[in-house]
């Protein structure tokens, strides 16, 4: 009985050992989830979307890949900017000026009214004097009373004139001579600002070799308002001092009222009437490689993408400014997915670098 038990145990042990070897030899790949009939590939399959046409590398993406990658592009637009940023400015709150204008108008109305009354009272006094001289029961007391009334009117007018002078001096000191003149003249061009048809910009310009005098025309890039570039013209030197910005302050007048009162703006010199065209490249279109700026343009004829140099560009508040050249106005520049296209163009190079 013991011999039979021993034989059974030995047999079972042998079977178990054989099964273990079978699993080790044939089932290893199945255990780790790899089909044993497939050979493990050491190389990842890489699809090359690049093509060379006339010696230039282009990227040709299938429409499905382009859609899934969310590649977006839009035509480039020209810009009025062609110089570096002058400095920051502020959209002025002119409520103080408006209040001064209202107060001045009320005072002028009072002065006009009192002058009219004074003229009437002086004529009345002369009539009383004539009657008094003719012995027509007009007493000297009545004449004296009228003279006192006239003197009081004179004093009241002088008080209003002093108030008017004080207002104009305050405006001159805080806003400059040009606004003091505007308040005195109803037909002054600056009344459009006071009526909120145009807006006033205080701009600080850092003096340097490039900027000996302030530019007469500038382009404003808003920081808050949802509007595009706004033109403005030089008005006068500004007595307002912004201690947070180094430079001389100047007033500029916009050609509309679309800016938000109190918002900070950036300003650039308006380009001259040259034949040079400058383009605005969105921030999202710029990619950097080997320390150089690049952008991808979609070729309209075949739908391929080609990398273009953005050399010579300088930064603006809402993008980058570049002179037209290899990239032209209405070229469709990639605004989303430029980095992905760069990766596609240099996929093999990047892959080799990663392996190293």
Q: Name the strands in the sheet holding 319-323, side by side, starting at the edge strand that comes first in the sequence.
A: 77-78, 278-281, 319-323, 314-316
Report the pLDDT value the prediction gives residue 32, as an integer from 0 to 100.
45
Tokens of 255: 């050609």
Report the pLDDT value the prediction gives residue 35, as an integer from 0 to 100.
52
Alpha carbon 262 to chain centroid, angstroms: 14
- Rounded CA-CA distance 58/63 in Å is 15
Report the pLDDT value the prediction gives residue 82, as an integer from 0 to 100.
61
User: Is residue 43 in a domain?
Assistant: no
User: Is residue 59 in a domain?
Assistant: yes
Q: Are residues 113 and 145 in the same domain?
A: yes
Length of the chain: 356
Instruction: Please identify, among 147, 162, 184, the residue that sits at the C-terminal boundary of a domain.
Output: 184
Q: Are residues 89 and 235 in the same domain?
A: yes
Q: Are residues 142 and 289 in the same domain?
A: no
Closest CA to 335 of 295, 306, 307: 295
* Dihedral, CA of residue 330, residue 332, residue 334 and residue 335, to nearest 10: 40
pTM: 0.59
User: Is residue 40 in a domain?
Assistant: no
Residue segments in the chain with a per-residue pLDDT below the cut of 50: 29-34, 36-41, 209-210, 352
Report the pLDDT value the prediction gives residue 112, as an integer from 0 to 100.
93
Instruction: Please identify, among 161, 184, 207, the residue that sits at the C-terminal boundary of a domain.
Output: 184
Q: Are residues 115 and 239 in the same domain?
A: no
Q: Are residues 234 and 104 in the same domain?
A: no
User: Is residue 39 in a domain?
Assistant: no
User: Is residue 243 in a domain?
Assistant: yes
Report the pLDDT value the prediction gives residue 27, as an integer from 0 to 100.
56
Q: Could you tell me if 270 and 218 are in contact, meaning their C-beta atoms sit under 8 angstroms apart?
A: yes
User: Is residue 42 in a domain?
Assistant: no
Instruction: Please identify, among 157, 184, 211, the residue that sits at the C-terminal boundary of a domain.
Output: 184
Q: Are residues 202 and 259 in the same domain?
A: yes
CATH number at residue 334: 2.40.420.20
Number of domains in the chain: 4
Q: Could you tell me if 79 and 277 are in contact, meaning their C-beta atoms sit under 8 angstroms apart?
A: no
Q: Are residues 159 and 232 in the same domain?
A: no
Q: Are residues 204 and 266 in the same domain?
A: yes
User: Is residue 211 in a domain?
Assistant: yes
Report the pLDDT value the prediction gives residue 355, as an integer from 0 to 100.
54
Report the pLDDT value the prediction gives residue 335, as an integer from 0 to 100.
92
CATH number at residue 220: 2.40.30
Question: What is the full DSSP assignment across 281-337?
Answer: E-GGG-EEETTEEEEEEE-TTT--EEEEE-TT-EEETTEEEEESSSS-TT-EEEEE-
266: phi then psi, degrees, rounded to nearest 5: -110, 145
Q: Are residues 180 and 107 in the same domain?
A: yes
Q: Are residues 228 and 89 in the same domain?
A: yes
User: Is residue 41 in a domain?
Assistant: no
Report the pLDDT value the prediction gives residue 333, as an integer from 0 to 100.
92
Q: Are residues 198 and 306 in the same domain?
A: no
DSSP state of 148: H
Q: Look up the domain containing 233 and give its range.
A: 85-93+193-270
Q: Are residues 142 and 282 in the same domain?
A: no
């Amino acid at each position: 009985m013991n011999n039979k038990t021993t034989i059974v145990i030995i047999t079972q042990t042998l079977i178990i050992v054989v099964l273990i070897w079978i699993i080790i030899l044939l089932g290893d790949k199945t255990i780790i989830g790899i089909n044993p009939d497939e050979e493990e590939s050491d190389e990842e399959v890489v699809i090359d979307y690049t093509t060379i046409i006339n010696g230039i590398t282009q990227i040709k993406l299938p429409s499905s890949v382009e859609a899934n990658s969310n590649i977006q592009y839009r035509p480039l637009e020209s810009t009025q900017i062609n110089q570096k940023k002058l400095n920051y400015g502020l959209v002025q709150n002119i409520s103080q000026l408006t209040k001064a204008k209202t107060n001045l108008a009320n005072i002028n109305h009072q002065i006009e009214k009192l002058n009219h009354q004074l003229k009437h009272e002086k004529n009345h006094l002369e009539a009383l004097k004539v009657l008094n001289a003719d012995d027509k029961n007009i007493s000297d007391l009545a004449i004296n009373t009228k003279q006192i009334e006239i003197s009081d009117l004179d004093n009241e007018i002088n008080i209003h004139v002093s108030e008017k002078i004080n207002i104009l001096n305050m405006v001159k000191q805080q806003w400059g001579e040009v606004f003091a003149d505007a308040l005195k003249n109803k037909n002054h061009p600056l009344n459009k600002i006071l009526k909120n048809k145009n807006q006033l910009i205080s701009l600080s310009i850092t003096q340097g070799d490039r900027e000996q005098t302030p530019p007469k025309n500038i382009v404003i890039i808003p920081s808050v308002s949802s509007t595009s570039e706004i033109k403005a013209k030089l008005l006068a030197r500004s007595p307002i001092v912004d201690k947070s910005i180094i430079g001389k302050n100047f007033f500029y007048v916009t050609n509309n009222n679309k800016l938000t009162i109190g918002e900070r703006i950036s300003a650039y010199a308006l380009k001259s009437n040259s034949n040079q065209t400058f383009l605005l490249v969105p921030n999202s279109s710029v990619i950097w490689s080997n320390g150089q700026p690049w952008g991808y343009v979609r070729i309209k004829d075949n739908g391929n993408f080609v990398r273009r140099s953005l050399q010579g560009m300088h930064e603006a508040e809402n993008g980058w400014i570049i002179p037209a050249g290899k990239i032209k106005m209405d070229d469709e520049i990639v605004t989303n997915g430029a980095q992905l296209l760069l990766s596609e163009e240099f996929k093999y190079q990047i892959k080799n670098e990663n392996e190293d």
